[in-house]
Amino acid sequence: MRHWLSAALLLAAPPAWPGAQGTPPKEKPADYPVSAAAGPLTIAADYLVRSFGREGAMFWTPDYLVVEVALFSATREPVEVAHSWFTLQINGKKQVLMSQAPGLVAASIRYSDWEMERRLEVGAGVGDTGVVLGRPTPQERFPGDGSGPRRLPPAPRAPDADDRTGLEREPARTAPEMAVEAALPEGAQTLPIAGYVYFPFKGKPKSIRTLELLAATPAGAATLKLK
């Protein structure tokens, strides 16, 4: 019972993910595999299949296709950016994939990992009663008997590397945190900017013969052939 109650509490109160900061935009649109004009904007894109990351840390999501999108403009005036501008068309089908909020991507990664850990922990148990697979652990008949469980000494702790900077190191980002942090920033943005846009897809990427990113911005529309 407590396992299901904990799950309900986790889903009811999702963590506070960091805000989207995007990825470092390249110098010009031509530095991306594809680019196209959408009115006064230039949109560039790179199809990354299911991978995402930043600063040398790369992650993978089984439920989404990932496209890095960059926006360029000849002016420095802020532009209201939205993920909803973008859809994916697969194999020329009329039904397109809508972009998803980065928080949903982060939650799918986090809770899929949690569910896997729960299956391993609970096993074939029902309620609070679990079934332990394997041989029973022998118990000592009296102190020093030797028939009980053997306890290995703790592994020696590796010495910490000298930190000569005098500054605390930032903790490494987890996959859910990175999914949100590296997403394309929304709202009023001064271009150029870049970041990931996510599209739900649980099929096999090998089944994708053609792939097009459709952009419908207030300033104009564009189609980018990714594959």
Q: Annotate 146-207 with DSSP letters as a single string.
A: S-S---PPPPPPPPPPP--S-SPPPPPPPHHHHHHHTBPP-EEEPSPEEEEEEEE--S-GGG
- Tracing tokens 């894109």 back to the chain, one arrives at 45
User: What are the tens digits of pLDDT across the range 164-182?
Assistant: 555 555 567 799 999 999 9
Amino acid sitting at position 128: D
Copy the structure tokens of residue 139.
Answer: 């118990």
Q: What is the CATH number of domain 18-122+174-227?
A: 2.60.40
Positive/negative CA dihedral, 27, 33, 39, 41: negative
> pTM (2 decimals)?
0.70
Give residue limits of the domains in the chain.
18-122+174-227
Query: Over its length of 227 residues, how does the chain's per-residue pLDDT go in tens digits?
Result: 444 334 443 443 345 445 779 999 999 999 999 999 999 999 999 999 999 998 788 999 999 999 999 999 988 899 999 999 999 999 999 999 999 999 999 999 888 654 444 443 434 444 443 333 333 344 444 445 444 444 444 555 555 555 555 555 556 779 999 999 999 999 999 999 999 999 999 999 999 999 999 999 999 999 999 99
CA 48-173-82 angle, 5° bins: 55
Q: Which pLDDT belongs to residue 39?
A: 93
Copy the structure tokens of residue 7.
Answer: 């799950």
Name the helix (H) or strand (E) containing 98. Answer: strand 97-98
Query: Who contacts 61 (Cβ-Cβ below 8 Å, separation ≥6)?
Result: 50, 52, 105, 108, 109, 175, 179, 198
Q: What is the Cα–Cα distance from 32 to 45, expressed in whole angstroms?
A: 6
